[in-house]
Homo-oligomer: A and B are copies of this chain.
Amino acid sequence: MSVLQLPASATPVDKVPLSFGLVLYPGFQALDVFGPLDALNCLSFIYPIKLHILAETLDPVSTKPPQGLEHSGSSFAQSIVPTHTFENAPQVDVLIVPGGVGNRPPNSLEAALSYISRVFPELQYVFTVCTGSGVVARTGVLDRRRATTNKVAFARISASRPQVEWVGKARWVVDGNIWTASGVSAGIDAIFDFLQTVYGSEVASMIADFMEYERHTDPTWDPWAERNNVQ
């Protein structure tokens, strides 16, 4: 007995991307990763998809904030096990890049950035959440593309790469094959938009229903832009 059934209207399996890669780095934001991934975990009940979890080494990667940003008395983090390093990553169709306070140092994440630059031309889709778009932007591959990011970090990130056409008021932005979501939970709405576009609207609705998630389906819905004076 399967948990979910492939709807008749779903995009046929030979027309969809099946290989996903997740870029992990220390201090990633957990929901940036697991909002989208849990929807994809559900997709794995109906499509034969694969996930490669990529990091600089095979050591578990922690959500722990970098030193100086955490509360000194806290010890509150989760560690995820990579499946491959950036060096030995298998072929990937869809690359997912989360945000998180771990990417704040502008000179950090060299191995991840080098991997993203190298693999970008072969990707079918790129999907970023929160300040993950800022990470990808640092490689230059978003130049002259429309993209958004977390609204608290918007001024900092847009200033760091002005060659990107940063969109202020957006729950998410799609430019060609690139989905960029706004802050943290926006990744959930954006992944359902991605599922709808690529695998079919019935697939997206069925999985949202399974997760008891009420989607925001309007990409311009974004109360946090105004609250943070982002135009």
Residues of A within 8 A of B (CB): 1-3, 20, 29-31, 33-35, 37-38, 40-41, 43-51, 53, 60, 63, 65, 68-81, 101, 150-152, 182-186, 188, 209-214, 216, 223-224, 227
Contact = CB atoms under 8 A, between A and B. Distances in A.
A180 to B, nearest CB: 13
A65 B2 CA distance: 10
Task: Specify how many copies of this chain sit in the oligomer.
Answer: 2
Going nearest first, the 10 A-B pairs with the smallest beta carbon separation are A48-B73, A183-B212, A34-B34, A44-B76, A31-B38, A44-B74, A185-B213, A184-B211, A30-B38, A79-B81
- Greatest chain B CB density within 10 A among A69, A77, A182, A223 is at A77
Contact of A210 (B20, B49, B152, B216): B152
**Majority-rule SS of A interface residues:** loop
5 contacts: A31-B211, A38-B184, A45-B74, A48-B71, A184-B212
Contacts of A150: 212
A51 B80 contact: no
A76 B50 contact: yes
B76 A78 contact: no
A44 B30 contact: no
A212 to B, nearest CB: 4
A106 to B, nearest CB: 15
Contacts of A43: 76
Contacts of A210: 152, 183-184
